[in-house]
Structure 1
Amino acid sequence: MQFPESWLREFCNPALDSDGLARLLTMSGMEVEEQHRAVPPFSRIVVAEIVTADQHPNADRLRVCTVDAGPHSQDGPLQIVCGAPNARVGIRVPLALVGAELPPGDDGKPFVIKLGKLRGVESQGMLCSARELKLSDDHGGLLELPTDTPVGADIRQILNLDDTLFTLKLTPNLGHGLSVYGIAREVAALTGSALAQPTFAPVPVTADDRLPVRIEADDLCGRFSGRVIRGINPQAKTPSWMVERLARCGQRSVSALVDISNYVMFEFGRPSHIFDRDKIEGDLVVRWGREGETLKLLNGNTVTLDGQVGVIADECADVQTVESLAGIMGGDATAVGDTTRNVYVEAAFWWPEAVAGRSRRYNFSTDAGHRFERGVDPALTVEHIERITALIVQICGTADTRIGPIDDQTTRLPERRPVALRVARAAKVIGMPVSQAQCVQVFERLGLSCAETAPGVLSVTPPSWRFDLQIEEDLIEEVIRVIGFDQLPLSPPLAPVTARVRTEDRRSPHAVRRAVAAQGYQETINFSFVEARWEQELAGNADPIRLLNPIAAPLSVMRSSLLGSLVQVLRHNLSRRASRVRVFEFGRVFRRDPAVQGSEQDVAGVDQPLRVAGLAWGPIDELQWGVKERAVDFYDVKGDVEALLAPLQPRFEAAEHPAMHPGRCARVVLDGVVIGHVGELHPRWRQAYELPSAPVLFELDAGVLLRRPVPVYQPVARQQAVTRDLALIAGESVTHDALIDAILAAPTDGLVRAAKLFDVYRPAAGVAGFAAGERSLAFRIDLLDESAPLTDARSDAAVQAVVEAVGQRLGARLRGA
């Protein structure tokens, strides 16, 4: 919110200078983000009147003017050579005298006016345009001042160029501060200075001309007011004082009617809309939009509507045409223009919930929507229409101007429920003694009605313009805000420090991060919103959660996998000539799940599990002389995953994943539950993402990594274990895990304690003892009986039971048998 200090002081003029006012606003919660003069500094620029304007003898586009600068031309009129097309006798314009310093240019250096000659004619200064004084971008001619402007006066004083502009950075709960009067009301409450109460004298009604309006959605519009005004002059020039104030609020002048609407919005925080009455063919209907309706807006965009956005429609012969987006922007079809003669002025109360976020769905924002979604006072729609009407009559009125009566409809307005404040509670929260009398005084200065309902308890009713006072803490904040945060005592906080100890079977996310980093990976942090392409290609998610207001067009959906972000990190590093990349991320993903119920931590219908994902590309080790360079492969990353899950022992089963190579991908299974995948990037995506070679990736459920089994004591075995090596011949289709399961499940009365593969032999074609498609796998088997020593006979019987078990279950046989 930007505004000039002079406008604020017309409503409330506290005994503070500009810096003091800025500090007051900032300390009250209305942070002054920027403070500067309306125009950069310059000197020796005065008001002058052109006395003569003759053609330059040596230049067709120059004129030799004599100007009267009052006391600055004691030796007679000054001679100025000027090339402006509007330089003529009788106008009063800014004159930069010799020695004047104009505002700095693009190089940051001030421009000094010197006595000089232009095409052989002496020039004793320079007549200035608005652009040369940094008043606007208009460079089409000299800046013409009113004819009654005192000649010789300092231009800074005449145009109030030393006015200070404040830019406030308001939080969303301070919607009542989005107007000059709203800020003045706050300043009056903070300082105790008098507040000038605006008066809205009714404009005499001179015609009985009405436009019927029907409100069909009271959850969209709580109050709708409007009136018809006929016989205006839309081409009337906006007064300079209004243009100046709008410019100092950051709003450029458009036309008289548009400027009037914007002026009242900045003045009282009331967005309004002015329709061309002759372009409205029927009655107006206020309702929710309908699927498929379209509207061409004032900004030239054509938007497609649905049932989530409010509209004002034109109903004629049972046909409804949308004319405006409710509380956001008007339509092009009923916009006022140079041919407009009759207008309909509208001011309404739109429910904040019905406006919030709607404009962002169409990738734009408006001042009106910004205010309505925070809450606009519903009590003064009629008064503000009277203010707009008075300005229209003053600026655009003609002898034929006729004013219709105001139609005012109220359906449902916000209910201002009293909020209880316990004075003792306020003192405890604030941290210093606060009396009930102080609280009452604060509420009275803020315009809040209050009454004592019990000893030490005040019942406070918020006014119509305060949408942010709903709970006791809101009132406590108002109390200390008005008393002053600088009044708080400087005392150290006192609070018990209680350690939150995790149970032994849990570990922190930081411990998981350190464990992944210990495997040689570097952590990355990426956006939770990603490109839709990544979701479709790398996550196989055809219906990702889309963002209504993405920060960038490509980052339009929420991620359901971390792999896309890691691939992008790899591409970023490769573009900077990285020779080895090992990165990981610990973060949330977002998936649709109707079973999820809404709560303080969860969004209904959206599952947000934690994931850990990693990517490895390039050599397995840093460059060194002792080991031959080798690229990282599936088994290296599989080993990293096993190390992360240790002492848990997951199984790796061949599987498919949208992002991974169909023959080099495995799912990670723990206790029969799939907890993730590991594999090499699919060749299709390696080529699509322009990678020189395929990285190896993994993604795991972080919840599994956050748990860790508690060690369980087992006594040391009193007997010596026996190891036997067993070479089994099995087909290529028989997996390692199947063989291990069969060995451990053999009927040996629990003698087999462990089995480990230590050799694989694939014979050449024609080797005796092997059929086509068979290979030899050598296992080392540990046998142990804790109650008695093992004899050779019992060990041989156990080995024979293992051989028979793998033969029956998998068709494997003992090598050499």
Structure 2
Amino acid sequence: MRAPLSWLREYVDLPAGETGRDVAAKLIDAGLEVETVEQLGRGLSGPLVVGKVLAIEELSEFKKPIRYCQVDVGDANGTGEPQNIICGATNFAVGDKVVVVLPGGVLPGDFKITARKTYGRVSEGMICSAAELGMGDDHSGIIVLPAEHAPGTDAIGLLEIVDEVLDIAVTPDRGYALSMRGIARETAIAYGLPLRDPALLDVPAPNTDGFPVEVTDRAACDRFVARTVTGVRPGTSSPLWLQRRLQKAGMRPISLAVDITNYVMLELGQPLHAYDRARLEGPIGVRRAERGEKLTTLDGTERTLDPEDLVITDRNGPVGLAGVMGGADTEIADAAAEQGIGEPGGTTDIVVEAAHFDPVAIARAARRHRLSSEASRRFVLGGDPEAAEAARQRAVDLLVLLAGGTAEPGVTQIAAPVTPRTVRMRADHPDRVAGVTYGREAVARRLQQVGCDVYGTDELIVTVPSWRPDLAAPNDLAEEVIRLEGYETLPSTLPRPPAGRGLTGRQRLLRRVGRALAGAGYVEAPNYPFLGQAALEQLGLPADDDRRRTVTLVNPLSDEEPALRTTLLPGLLAALRRNHGRGSTDLALFETGLVFRPTGEEPEAVRLPVDRRPSDEEIAALDAALPRQPRRVAVVLAGARELSGWWGQGRAAGWADAVEAARAVAREAGAELSVAADRHAPWHPGRCAALYASVDGERTLVGHAGELHPRVIKAMGLPERTCAMEADLDLLARAGAGGVSAPHVSSFPVATQDVALVVDAAVPAARVEAALRSGAGELLESLRLFDVFTGEQVGEGKKSLAYALRFRAADRTLTAEEASAARDAAVAAAVERSGAVLRGA
């Protein structure tokens, strides 16, 4: 909403020196969002005067129309002689009154005017367009003024060029601020000044002689008022003050009748519509549209109506889309002519309508037809239903005053009974909300300032004004008190959490995992939790894979990703591809987040009540309808894992790095992983590891890691040999239920023994490692595979696994015999369980 400061002063007697920025600061303190304060006429200086065109000489020797004009500017030039001015516009004639800037004047943009020779003539000034004066964007022609203004009159004051305009972003809970009346009320409260309410008019009582109206859908239209003005002078132009106020508010003047309805809408916040009575057939009706009905709206578009659309009708059918836009068939003739439709001067009798429509119905119609209008915005945000009579009367008064019309005595009013809305609130409720003692008197005074009636002492009965539909609960009233008393008066207090509380175990694990992966060189890359079937196809998932069973959103952000993710990999791989495409070749990304795994057996979700707190049973029923939402962790890698340099050769990321990332996560959870070969999409069948952990005493699959399948890499446009890991963090947390314990540091020396075992190539290293651990006994501190060898020396179909075993006792220094005995026991167990042969034996 654009609010000119000069217009605002009409309702509030602001101090003379108060600027637009001063007013904006006050309104911002009161909770309104003032985005900018535009200073109109900045840099403009005179002489800028009214001129009368005395003669026009057409200069035809140039490629474009050029006119050499003699213009009477009165005594503004100091001589009383006409000014000779070159002008390229053709929308004026001899005898017209125009706006002239004389030599010595400066136009916005620091454009200085001097007498200069151009097109073979000396031009002594400039005839101005609206754009050149900063009054709008219209370059099509110069400004033609009404004939009553004398040559030499100061045009800066006449056109109200110098002004300040506050541009206010109106939030959904402050629909009243879409009017000068609402902004003026906030300004008056902020300055502690009285308000001259423009809605305080003498409104005649309704009678049976008004224009006939039939409202079929009273739920969607609870108020409809109308009155007829006859004898309007056709073709009458809007006065300059009216045009300028509309322009400053961001609207284009069209014709007097339309300008008046727009002006009253801006002034009072109540949309109106003016009908040419001669074009109306029978009574005005309000009803829902019938299927297949069509309406050509004022923008010239023929629209097929929906049965839910609320329409204004006459005997011939729809004449307007209620609350959104009128129809072309009953448009005022002058307005139609302004848009190049029909001839001007035909409308003499006008029916002025004001109504209040259901916000939901208007919002749906505007969205359905993609037709947002100034009227629909005001209805959607909840206008004042009781402003219709005042707005209608204001428009009628202006038509009588400016167009010479006569208001017919008939007054139409259809209105549903209105029960005042009341809210009960303890007088100290704002105090308890804000933590500040305001007192009963301050609370009552602030509520009265916004238009409420307040009764009671300890408990207040507050009657809410009709223009504030957002005030429905005690907290709403408390907010009004707090914002008007000033947010800056609220003390800064830190919340005090109850003693003994902190992060949950799950939260601590999540942080440890993030720190561990970041320390290992991974970068966190959170993604949106949305998924499309195309991504699942690219991953090559089998048709019966559980990850293909998704939860589909009713209103997704993108039609290409309508479902909730069942795996973290698509988002991470897309991030890797995007970064690789932008020149980052060495990548290691990770993400922790929820996935959504429906079983298909979830009960139908219940709708929770909004008029009370849901019961525990209702909340439990809603939770039961939700899919499983396990938290998972995933990493993706590509490029170099270790960079080359003077220190030596680097190393490319491989499947083992993905497995090690899983081990790092498991260590933070206090779980121990075992690894086995597996075939699982989207991993390479020969480079895929299944990750197992002991969960509740059972060996449980918790994830997979390895190198992605070449077909997946090609389908997703990924770098070669891209690797990935994904695991269930919740299962790992259960596997490490004992938590992470601090390591024991022994003061006794360690004894290191190396063994190399030859086994069949198909024997997993994990089986050999498990056998060594079980045979070594309690003296074994750690076990590490440091070499894998294949070749002629070990035989075809064989491999050599070299392990480093570290032995240490907690209470003594081990002897060489004890260490060797433990090593021999470990080797014996490996020989027995995996068929290993001690290399070199």
Pairwise TM-score range, normalised by the shorter structure = 0.7 to 0.9
> Does structure 1 conserve the Cα–Cα contact (< 8 Å) formed by 2:159 and 2:244?
no
Distance (Å, rounded) in 1 between the aligned partners of 2:161 and 2:59: 37
Q: Which residue of 2 aligns with 1:520?
A: 521
Q: 2 CA distance for matches of 1:86 and 1:785?
A: 105
What is the DSSP-based 3-state SS (H/G/I as helix, E as strand, rest coil) of the residue aligned with 2:515?
helix
TM-score (norm 2): 0.74
Summarize the Cα distance change of 1:211–1:432 in structure 2 as closer, same or farther, 3 Å threshold: closer
1:176 aligned partner: 176
Matched AA of 2:448: E
- Select the residue among 725, 728, 739 that pairs with 1:710: 739
Aligned to 1:312, which of 300, 310, 315?
310
- Judged with a 3 Å threshold, the aligned counterparts in structure 2 of structure 1 residues 208 and 451 are, in CA distance, closer, same or farther, namely closer
Deviation, 1:448, is 0.7
Q: Does 1:22 align with 2:24?
A: yes
Deviations 1:477-521 (A, max 9, x none): 3224334456x38x6647657664346786164433211101111
Q: SS of 1:511's equivalent?
A: helix
CA pair 323-148 structure 1, distance change in 2 beyond 3 A: closer
C-alpha separation between the residues in 1 aligned to 2:838 and 2:276? Answer: 97
Of 88-97 and 260-269, deviating more is: 260-269
* Pairing partner for 2:212 from 210, 213, 217: 210
Equivalent residue for 1:693?
Answer: 720
Q: Is the 8 A contact 2:420 2:463 kept in 1?
A: no
Unaligned runs of 5+ in 2: 542-546, 609-613, 811-816
Determine if the alignment matches structure 1 residue 384 to structure 2 residue 391: yes
Deviation at 1:144, TM superposition (A): 1.1
Superposed CA deviations along residues 257-301 of structure 1, whole A, max 9, x for unmatched, are 6555543332222245668996999996756999x9999877788
Q: Contact (CA 8 Å) 1:228, 1:344: kept in 2 or not? A: yes
Shift, 1:157, TM fit: 0.9
C-alpha separation between the residues in 2 aligned to 1:289 and 1:681?
Answer: 58
CA RMSD, Structure 1 to Structure 2 (Å): 5.6
User: Which residue does 2:651 correspond to in 1?
Assistant: 630
Tell me the residue number matched to 1:571.
577
CA distance in 1, matches of 2:745, 2:515: 32
* Shift in CA distance, 91/792, structure 1 to aligned 2, threshold 3 Å: closer
Q: Distance in 2 between matches of 1:119 and 1:494?
A: 74
The CA deviation at 1:158 is: 0.9
Q: Distance in 2 between matches of 1:51 and 1:546?
A: 67
Cα distance, 1:562–1:49 mapped onto 2, change above 3 Å: same
Of 522-531 and 596-605, the range deviating more from structure 2: 596-605
Letter of the aligned partner of 1:312 in structure 2? L
User: Does the 8 A contact of 2:4 with 2:165 survive in 1?
Assistant: yes
Distance 1:315 1:485, change over 3 A: closer
CA distance in 2, matches of 1:296, 1:649: 72
Q: Mean Cα displacement is larger for which, 598-607 or 70-79?
A: 598-607
Q: Which residue of 2 aligns with 1:225?
A: 224
Correspondence 1:399-798 to 2 at 5 A: 406=412, 408=414, 410=416, 416-423=421-428, 425-427=429-431, 429-452=433-456, 454=457, 456-485=458-487, 488=489, 493=493, 496=496, 500-502=501-503, 507=508, 509-526=510-527, 534=535, 537=538, 550=557, 561-587=567-593, 610-646=631-667, 647-652=670-675, 660-661=683-684, 664-666=687-689, 668-670=691-693, 671=695, 675-703=702-730, 709-711=738-740, 732=762
Question: Relative to 1, partners in 2 of residues 1:133 and 1:349: Cα closer, same or farther, differing over 3 Å?
Answer: same
Report the CA distance shift for 1:533/1:345 in structure 2 as closer, same or farther (over 3 A). farther
Counterparts of 1:303 and 1:58 in 2: how far apart (Å)?
47
Moved more, 790-799 or 65-74: 790-799
**Matched-pair contact (CA < 8 Å) for 1:311–1:322:** no
How far has the Cα of 1:204 moved from its partner? 9.1
Q: Which residue of 1 aligns with 2:611?
A: none
Equivalent-residue separation in structure 1 for 2:408 and 2:666 (angstroms): 82
Structure 1 residue 459 displacement after superposition: 2.3
Q: CA distance change for structure 1 residues 225 and 702 in 2, over 3 Å: closer, same or farther?
A: farther
Does the 8 Å contact 2:215/2:221 carry over to 1?
no
**TM-score where L is the length of structure 1:** 0.76
Secondary structure of 1:71 counterpart:
coil
| One-letter identity of the residue aligned with 1:137 | D
Cα deviation per residue 1:552-585 (whole Å; 9 max; x = unaligned)? 9988876665434433433343344223122223
* Residue number in structure 2 paired with 1:151: 151
Deviations 1:767-801 (A, max 9, x none): 79x7xxx9898999999999xx9999999999999
1:588 and 1:494, CA in 2 relative to 1: closer, same or farther beyond 3 A? closer
Q: CA deviation at 1:323?
A: 8.4
1:125 offset after TM fit, Å? 1.4
Residue equivalent to 2:544? none
1:48 is matched with 50
Q: Partner letter of residue 461 of structure 1? A: T
d(CA) in 2 for partners of 1:38, 1:791: 92
Amino acid at match of 2:45: S
Q: How far apart in 2 are the matches of 1:403 and 1:803? A: 113
Q: Show the counterpart of 2:67.
A: 63
Q: For residue 214 of structure 1, report the CA deviation from its aligned partner.
A: 2.2
Paired with 1:234 and 1:592, the residues of 2 have a C-alpha distance of 69
1:84 counterpart = 2:113: no
Task: Please name the residue that 1:246 is paired with.
Answer: 246
Structure 1 stretches of 5 or more lacking a match?
105-109, 807-811
Alignment of 1:5-404 (within 5 A): 5-15=5-15, 17-18=18-19, 19-50=21-52, 52-55=54-57, 59=61, 61-75=65-79, 76-104=81-109, 110-190=110-190, 191-198=192-199, 199=201, 201-202=203-204, 210-215=212-217, 218=219, 221=220, 223-225=222-224, 227=226, 240-253=240-253, 259-271=259-271, 286=287, 310-312=308-310, 337=336, 338=341, 347-352=354-359, 365-388=372-395
Q: Matched residues in 2 for 1:543 and 1:301: separation? A: 42
Change over 3 Å in CA distance of 1:419–1:121 after alignment to 2:
same
Q: Secondary structure in 1 aligned to 2:224? A: strand
| Cα distance per residue 1:445-495 (max 9 Å; x no partner) | 22211111x5x3322222222123233333233224334456x38x66476
Kept in 2: contact 1:203–1:390 (CA 8 A)? no
Alpha-carbon separation, structure 2, partners of 1:181 and 1:70: 40
CA distance in 2, matches of 1:13, 1:586: 60
SS in structure 2 of the partner of residue 15 of structure 1? coil
Q: Distance in 1 between matches of 2:229 and 2:440?
A: 55
Contact map agreement 1:116 1:123 (CA 8 A) in 2: yes
8 Å Cα contact 1:242/1:263 also seen in 2? yes
Any conservation in 1 of the 2:269–2:383 contact (CA below 8 Å)? yes
Deviations 1:642-695 (Å, cap 9, x if unpaired)?
Answer: 112113123456667765556544554442555544344454453344444242
Counterpart of 1:417, as a letter, is T
1:504–1:710: 8 Å Cα contact kept in structure 2?
Answer: no
CA 1:531–1:721: 2 relative to 1, 3 Å: same
Query: Using a 3 Å threshold, how does the CA distance of structure 1 residues 194 and 332 change in structure 2: closer, same or farther?
Result: closer
CA distance in 2, matches of 1:306, 1:657: 51
Give 1:184 shift. Answer: 1.4
Residues 405, 460 of structure 1: alpha-carbon distance in 2 compared, 3 angstrom cutoff = closer
Tell whether the 8 Å contact from 2:788 to 2:799 is kept in structure 1 after alignment.
Answer: yes
Report the CA distance shift for 1:180/1:313 in structure 2 as closer, same or farther (over 3 A): closer
Deviations, residues 195-245 of structure 1 (Å, cap 9, x unaligned): 2342263599897653533228x4xx3625265969999987555444322
Match of 1:114, SS state, is coil
Give, in whole Å, the separation in 2 of the partners of 1:783 and 1:281: 104
Q: 1:608 & 1:414 partners in 2: Cα distance? A: 48
